Amino acid sequence: MTDPHETIRWGHHALELEIGLGEHGTPRLVRIGTPGERGTDPRPGAPLPLVEVTTAGLGRHWSGRHLIDTALGSRLRHRSHRATRDGDWHVLTVELHEPETGLTAEAVYRSPDGLPVLRSEVALRNEGAATLHLESVGSLVAGCLTGGDPAAPDSADLLWAENDWLTECRWQHRPLRVSSPARNGRFHYLAGRNTHVVAGQGVWSSCGHLPMGGLTDRVSGRTWLWQIEHNGGGWRWECGVRDDTAYTALYGPNNADHGWRQPLEPGAEFRTVPVALALAADGGPDGAFAALTRYRRATRRPHPDHRRLPVVFNDYMNCLTRRGRPHHGQRAPRPDPPPGGSPNSPPRHGSWSTRPWPCTSPSAPTFPRRCPCGRSAFPAGRTRGSRWACEPRAERTSPLGAAPARSPRRARGCPICSAPTSAPTCSTRPPVRPSPSGTRTPPTSP
């Protein structure tokens, strides 16, 4: 780190960022890239501050769909900064302060060593005397995605993914200039109201769209890819053009999209949801996805399954379509792996439960742990060296939040050896029983 009163330079051999303090001490992210990367000169006049915050009574300078250009964001001043290490992670913390309201913000940037990925979150603390009612807080604001070349946004494409059951991860792309048209004609206008906004809905974090997005250059292949790491549903990102450079701003829940408001009383603190921004200098979207995948693996908690790599027995055949109704007799046979191939791939698709919702317990007749005769539940896979794992997924939950009443245990036949066994059954409908021929026998009334 050099020139702390003018520019903060921080990073490692795979990622580097520069923060300019500006004439009045307002920190701005002026460059993110790889060390020595060409065509990414710092943008001293980057239009956006490090942190964007709106509260009741302190909104934005200009109307529109965007949540940037906030009054509080432009008034936050640099107080201090420090660089540390946390194992394999590089950490930069920049502390900002707004004296009139007493609001203090800490922008915390983290990056795993050797990966061109930046993780960001913001912590707010009220050091004033009055309660602040937060309405939006940006986890990351980057106003320098295309550098200082005014023509760079013309060759940029936006990336986003539409999502729904059975039609997941439908990635889309279109020119950035469709949502942020150029205004460089007779009257050069630098701050339009248009921007591209994608926001989550409800408590399903991937409802309608994935909490991800990206920006790629059609000519050079330079690509940014971002994700919002929030499982609670409320999230938002926007991407547009400010002062002839592309920007992105990533948020958790906010008032405009989710009716969110958080009181911040004197002495209280608030922390935003973390977000991640990955860079591929010349590898296109595939390179950015590869970097983000490596980052995701670096953030996982240690677990033996990461080394053993067991087979995950998935439940999509029953959970989504409710038409698969597989049983062990159909799923157990498995061909030998090819010479030199791994016995642990590919995943097996099955069903965790064959009962009508809202039952969420495993169906013993469908996947028994062990037959009464002592045979293993998955004899074929184990004899060929496979290790089995199960991915439990609840099909649905009761609208009233109550579990259904269940009937007493009754005798059932094992689908492998037909030996009598006992298993709990749902009070509304018995599970489907496989016939000897392999077809499915319609359920009968109990």
Whether 14 has a pLDDT exceeding 90, the answer reads yes
CA–CA distance from 399 to each of 258, 352, 403, 404 (Å)? 22, 21, 10, 11
In the DSSP assignment, the letter for residue 402 is: -
Measure the CA–CA gap between 318 and 246, rounded to whole angstroms. Answer: 44
Residue pair 350/313 in contact (Cβ under 8 Å)? The answer is yes
Least confident of 218-222, 301-305, 437-441: 437-441
Give the chain's mean pLDDT. 76
What is the distance between the alpha carbons of residues 5 and 24, in angstroms, rounded to a whole number? 11
pLDDT digits (tens, 9 = 90+) for 41-65: 666 556 799 999 999 999 988 778 8
Sign of CA dihedral 392, 398, 402, 408: negative
Query: Region 241-248: what's the mean pLDDT?
Result: 90
Q: Which two tokens stand for residue 129?
A: 């005397």
The confidence score (pLDDT) of residue 205 equals: 83
Of 83-92, 193-202, 257-266, least confident by mean pLDDT is 193-202
Output the DSSP codes for 113-145.
Answer: TT--EEEEEEEEEE-SSS-EEEEEEEEEEE--T
Reply yes or no on whether the pLDDT at 431 is more than 60. no
List beta partners, residue 223: 216, 280
248 by Cβ neighbours in 10 Å (0-12 / 13-18 / 19+) ranks as buried
The whole-angstrom separation of Cα 66 and Cα 124 is: 21
**pTM of model > 0.85:** no
pLDDT band for position 219 (cuts 50, 70, 90): very high
Q: Any alpha helices (H) in 349-412, and if so which ranges?
A: 379-383
Task: Report the pLDDT value the prediction gives residue 207, as an integer from 0 to 100.
Answer: 85
Q: Phi and psi of 358, rounded to 5°? A: -100, 35
Query: Bigger pLDDT: 384 or 174?
Result: 174
As a whole number of angstroms, the distance between CA 53 and CA 72 comes to 6
Model pLDDT, residue 422: 45
Out of 8-22, 226-240, 272-286, 314-328, which region has the weakest mean confidence (pLDDT)? 314-328
Dist. CA 252–CA 142, nearest whole Å: 16
**2: pLDDT confidence band, cut at 50, 70 and 90?**
very low
Query: What SS3 class is residue 404?
Result: coil
* Sequence-distant (≥ 6) Cβ neighbours of residue 196 within 8 angstroms: 158, 160, 176, 179, 180, 238, 239, 240
* Percent helix, strand and coil across the chain, each to the nearest 5: 10, 35, 50
Alpha helices (runs of H) in 221-324, residue ranges in sequence order: 255-258, 284-299, 305-308, 316-319
Q: What tokens were used for 194?
A: 């248009």
Averaged pLDDT, 222-235? 91
Please report the pLDDT score of residue 405 as a whole number: 42
The whole-number pLDDT of residue 47 equals 78
* d(C-alpha 129, C-alpha 100), whole Å: 10
Spatial contact of 160 and 261, defined as CB atoms under 8 Å apart: no
pLDDT at 3 over 80: no
* HSE-CB for 317 with a 13 A CA cutoff: 16
What is the DSSP secondary-structure string of 216-240? EETTT--EEEEEE--SSS--EEEEE
Q: Which residue has the higher pLDDT, 298 or 387?
A: 298
Q: How confident is the model at residue 96 (pLDDT cuts 50, 70, 90)?
A: very high
Query: Identity (one letter) of the amino acid at 362?
Result: P
DSSP one-letter code for 349? E
* Percent of the chain residues past pLDDT 70, beyond the cut: 64
Domains by residue range for the chain, with CATH: 7-299 (2.70.98.60), 304-335+343-398+407-432 (no CATH)
The helix (run of H) or strand (run of E) holding residue 32 is: strand 28-33
Residue 329 has pLDDT above 90, yes or no: no
Best CA proximity match to 40, nearest among 156, 151, 118, 148: 148
Average pLDDT over residues 229-236: 87
Higher pLDDT, 21 or 155: 155
CB 94 within 8 A of CB 82: no
Residue 364: what pLDDT? 52
**Residue in 120, 210, 138 with CA at minimum distance from that of residue 167:** 210
Task: Find the mean pLDDT for residues 133-142.
Answer: 97
pLDDT computed for residue 304 by the predictor: 86
C-beta of residue 445 within 8 angstroms of C-beta of residue 425? no
Q: 79 falls in which pLDDT band (50, 70, 90)?
A: very high
pLDDT at 221 over 90: yes
Interval 265-307: pLDDT, tens: 999 999 999 999 999 998 899 999 999 999 999 998 888 888 8
Q: Tally the residues of the chain.
A: 446
CB atoms within 10 A of CB 399: 8
pLDDT above 80 (res 120): yes
Q: Which residue has the higher pLDDT, 438 or 309?
A: 309
Determine the residue type at 276: A
* CA distances (Å), origin 163, targets 286, 318, 397: 20, 20, 21
What pLDDT is attached to residue 357?
39
Encode pLDDT of 144-194 as tens digits. Answer: 999 778 889 999 999 999 998 888 899 999 999 998 888 666 655 555 678
Residue 241 has pLDDT above 50, yes or no: yes
Lowest mean pLDDT among 7-11, 196-200, 227-231, 395-399: 395-399
Q: Give residue 414's pLDDT.
A: 47
